[in-house]
Structure 1
């Protein structure tokens, strides 16, 4: 009568197999997690590019988040722009103060605003936040801007043709009741705020 002998694994082999099985299982889960994250990021970027969630909406939301922060720091929020650079969202914000902007001002706003964006806009997984002064070509957006820089040379671009053109450059004479006045060659041109597409210091 023959007997079939079965051998049990030694303790060392048993624990090694158990460890290998656990390690392989964890690696599978980790790889699946990475793939899911990659697909999620891909579809979010694709959705943004299709303008289901466009850059103008993002800029508007970020400006609403940034405005109270800047006010609490006695800093003026001048402009907010969002655009793509190699599939990454770039958020560019310009700030100003009566005494100018320092590096510490930019670092302070960048740190605080970055934390707020991470909490309130979780859909933006990949972005770069840039804070800077407006520079010599500062944009003019608010009515107070057109009064503040009265006497400066500015460039204005309108959404519709005015006297056969859309771009104008002249001396800013201020703003009255929502109408911007620009002096060009001893003539005064008037533009309603809603007609101005872009305006900046020249």
Structure 2
């Protein structure tokens, strides 16, 4: 899920160690576009889940150096480094744990119970399966993580509040650090 294509997977193999050495984790990577200029979109975060503009610039420089040296993408492309955002994609099992209780949309790579799309409140992880409380269902559903093609948080007031609280905490910490 962090990459969709074989080319994405090769780029992740190349860029994951670079991001980790710089103190970041790649949440999702997509190489998009056709024959003209393509776009390499990299969503990343620090271990604390944050990613501000200076982090994006720092990671972009680190990735650019490796991409320029290795030249793994044929033709022209634009590198775009960003945070995953509030209504972020969920691409790792730990994402499903971290956002337990929040609403998400999941799309599977196969039919399950006659459908591919599911929406509900995340209920954690059990082994290699994502637990989700589906709308209108009384029991928690377990979906194998390997079956999930796409997953994303649903933008809600509760999610926005969590994001605002996190930003406020970070600003307070930055002010405390600056006053020392």
Matched, 1:104 2:54: yes
Q: What does residue 147 of structure 2 align with? A: 195
State the match for 1:63 in structure 2.
Answer: 12
Q: 1:123 to 1:81 in 2, by over 3 A?
A: closer
* CA distance in structure 2 between the partners assigned to 1:201 and 1:143 by the alignment: 14
Q: Which has the larger radius of gyration?
A: 1
Aligned twin of 1:83: 32
Compute the TM-score of the two structures, normalised by the length of structure 1.
0.67
Give me the whole-angstrom Cα distance separating, in 2, the residues matched to 1:195 and 1:123. 28
5+ long unaligned stretches in structure 2: 155-180
**Structure 1 segments unaligned to the other structure (5+ residues):** 1-54
Q: TM-score normalised to the size of structure 2?
A: 0.75
Preserved contact between residue 11 and residue 72 of structure 2 (Cα < 8 Å): no
Q: CA deviation at 1:176?
A: 0.9
Greater RCO, 1 or 2 (C-alpha within 8 Å, sep 6+): 2
Segments ≥4 residues shifted beyond 6 Å? none
For residues 22-67 of structure 1, give each alpha carbon's deviation from its aligned partner in whole angstroms, at most 9, with x where no partner exists.
Answer: xxxxxxxxxxxxxxxxxxxxxxxxxxxxxxxxx8233222212221
RMSD: 1.8
Q: Which residue of 2 aligns with 1:17?
A: none
Rounded Cα–Cα distance in structure 2 between residues aligned with 1:99 and 1:141:
14
The alpha-carbon deviation at position 153 of structure 1 amounts to 0.9
Tell me, yes or no, if structure 1 residue 131 matches structure 2 residue 115: no
Name the residue aligned to 2:101: 151
| Residue aligned with 1:182, SS | strand
Q: Report how many residues are paired.
A: 148
Per mean C-alpha deviation after superposition, the further-off stretch among 68-77 and 124-133 is 68-77
- SS in structure 2 at match of 1:187: coil
